[in-house]
Chains A and B, each alone.
Chain A
């Protein structure tokens, strides 16, 4: 089956356990949301999936369409079709968005094949228009001096251009006002389809009103404590994370 699959994942940083036995599967064509309180390990999960070198995977498996991701460098995972929209995207001073994305698109072409510049720009401008971005944006340095909303929109622009098989959106809603949130959600929705699996990581239910998930998972203390349909998000919103924490304690006791 085509899916991004995590099995019994354990992750530490500096001997501190952050993810403790997490399992999850995001099939292609579906949108899954992970909700959880601060410190539950959501962002760690996102970085580990992308291959951040600071974290140690001490046990478990991560596969993408059956291929073992843990053996691959971050850039190899990316070129095979894994995308992470960062919660805090880095600045790349002096490198324009156009040149940065061009290098990223070029990196996906077979050896010896040159990117066709006019086609590339036509596609770039089309995607920017869909996201309500001005063309002058392309000549700005990546994320340098960007507002929170501009950064998130730029992440979604990259997602649209790179057409991954699986995308992880790490708190893409944080720091956005309602208009910016709608624009970003509209961008993500336009990318939904049978060829992409999306994992949406969020603290708040709010974004799920605009990007309606197929499944919702609740993450506490480094593992998934509840899973359900989209209505789980509303239940969580109503009952609060303490309810989820209780569930986590129950799980711990039952072991």
Chain B
């Protein structure tokens, strides 16, 4: 059956627009100690942060690119052409009315203020390197919940910030966590006091507006004993002809009995290299759950992980990746069991369209001395065209006798007969594809919060619309 695909102009209906740059702070192109000092000066960093950045830079320059196991495409990133810090210099406002007009219009087009009114407990909106808006509902703030940008967090709450910052993901974890450590800016700092359950999600929105630019936000979330919080992040960028780099570091700490749910709605344009390190630390009886949806980008490398440090800790990664024409989604999960009776669950679904490639990489580690640990891993891949590709690399090490592991993987293809059947009922080829893909992810999406699953279905429809020739 004819299923030609053409180049997909993704996000053209949602995120593909850009306003002229309005930045007054610009570190220029290229990365050196000078760049790092510029950022530290502008942000008025304390000395320990400046030193942390310089260590990050040194490590970044020393470490080789992981092209031997990942993707040669990484070698096409020209680190000298990228601009590492761009900011309007206005600071984060508490009211949308105070946000500069152009930037405010950007977020209005993306629907952020509307969502905030509807169902969010707090919002932070980042435009290139810095947050331009940050607000938390009064009632939530009164419970002692802190929700600010990383710069404000390290300045105003050093006693909590410094204790955990860089502890879950050390500088030298990988080349891109080192890069982030050198030039990080923006991202969220969240602290939830003991026993506080934040009812509605806190949301951050990351927007890249500038060309030849790198966004390096740094997020740190600490849920104190018995507390609960859900955090959602959304990301978009306009479609430029040159490469854009997004390299975030996200650290989560769930103290005894706490629960953190972290949801990502990533919808990057096809020129973005998305190289993100995300990890959570789950203490006794705590739970860290990543819901990670990767749509768009040129290359995404992201493996959210949970270190199960305390007895009975639980870790979960539910992920969906859609690799369209020319895109590579290299995603997966890491579960490091480090205490008895810990459990982890990984469910990954990927869809490859056209020449798209989806790779699942999983790491599950249960050492010999532990007892009664459990892991369940399921990864399913759906291929749309004969040119689509999927790879699965599960690395599961379970030692000792009292631990259980379960692994299932499947690859399926949307058949020409299935599409013909659906077309015979009156659906266009694109509608048929989109319904098939939604059917494929349906049982997983049902576990997501309502607002998120609606958004995801809409994004999948948009992607499939553009993918049929």
Contacts and interface: CB of A to CB of B under 8 A. Distances in A.
Interface string B1-36: 110000000000000000000000000000000000
Interface in A90-123: 90-95, 99-101, 103-104, 107-108
A75 B439 contact: no
A52 B424 CA distance: 9
A194 interface: no
Nearest to B444: A94
Interface stretch (A29-37, A56-64, A78-86, A180-188): A78-86
Contacts of B431: 103, 107
A6 interface: no
A104 B426 contact: yes
Contact of B439 (A79, A93, A107): A93
B453 interface: no
Given A54-B1, A90-B418, A95-B442, A79 B426 contact: yes
A103 B439 contact: no
B421 A93 contact: no
B425 interface: yes
B417 A90 contact: yes
Contacts of B427: 75, 103-104, 107
Contact of A93 (B2, B422, B423, B440): B440
Contacts of A74: 420, 423-424
A50 interface: yes
Given A78-B425, A104-B426, A107-B426, A53 B435 contact: no
B392 interface: no
Interface string B160-201: 000000000000000000000000000000000000000000
B142 to A, nearest CB: 40
B106 interface: no
Nearest to A104: B425
Main secondary structure of the interface of A (DSSP, over half): mixed
B426 A108 contact: yes
A92 B435 contact: yes
B428 A75 contact: yes
Contacts of A162: 425-426
Nearest to A99: B435
Contacts of A89: 421
Interface string A171-214: 00000000000000000000000000000000000000000000
A92 B436 contact: yes
A53 B415 contact: no
A234 B442 CA distance: 49
Nearest to A168: B424
A158 B425 contact: yes
A91 B415 CA distance: 10
Interface string B367-393: 000000000000000000000000000
A162 B420 CA distance: 17
Contacts of B443: 94
A94 B420 contact: no
B424 A78 contact: yes
B426 A78 contact: yes
A44 to B, nearest CB: 14
A23 interface: no
Contacts of A95: 435-436, 438-439, 442
A83 B425 CA distance: 7
Contact of A90 (B415, B440, B441): B415
Contacts of B425: 78, 100-101, 103-104, 107, 158, 162
Interface of B: 1-2, 412, 415-418, 420-429, 431-432, 435-436, 438-443
13 contacts: A50-B420, A50-B424, A73-B429, A75-B423, A75-B428, A78-B426, A90-B420, A92-B422, A92-B435, A94-B438, A103-B435, A107-B425, A107-B427
Interface of A: 50-54, 73-75, 78-79, 83-84, 86, 89-95, 99-101, 103-104, 107-108, 141, 158, 162
